[in-house]
Amino acid sequence: MTMEASISRNNTLRSQDRRPQSERCLGDHEVERLGGIHAGDAITCTNGVLWVTQEGDPEDYLLKKGERFVANRFGLVLVQAFEDAACRWYEGR
């Protein structure tokens, strides 16, 4: 399954229903641990390239600027920058 198909399948919320909770700037290869992510919460790449993995999800996701990942379960999400990057986290609840 491609990343786009996974993101589309999990993406059930309209963007106007969410408010950004925080923006994170990550340096080259820096890792951010996002604990307490709930199903429906989203991470949007606003700059660079990000690798995203979610606890309990066998797939990993690469996000380029403008792409997003929507969590499909509660748990820990790791976000790693492949270069200087930035992302926004949106609470979907």
- How far is Cα 93 from Cα 79, in angstroms, rounded to an integer? 21
Structure-derived torsion over alpha carbons of residues 60, 56, 7, 4, reported in degrees to the nearest 10? 30
CATH of the domain at 54: 2.60.120.10
pLDDT in tens, 31-84: 999 888 999 999 999 999 999 999 999 999 999 999 999 999 999 999 999 999
**pLDDT higher than 70, residue 2:** no
Query: How many domains does the structure of the chain reveal?
Result: 1
Domain that holds residue 69: 3-91
Average pLDDT rounded to a whole number, residues 25-35: 92
Query: pLDDT band for position 12 (50/70/90)?
Result: very low
- How far is Cα 68 from Cα 93, in angstroms, rounded to an integer? 17
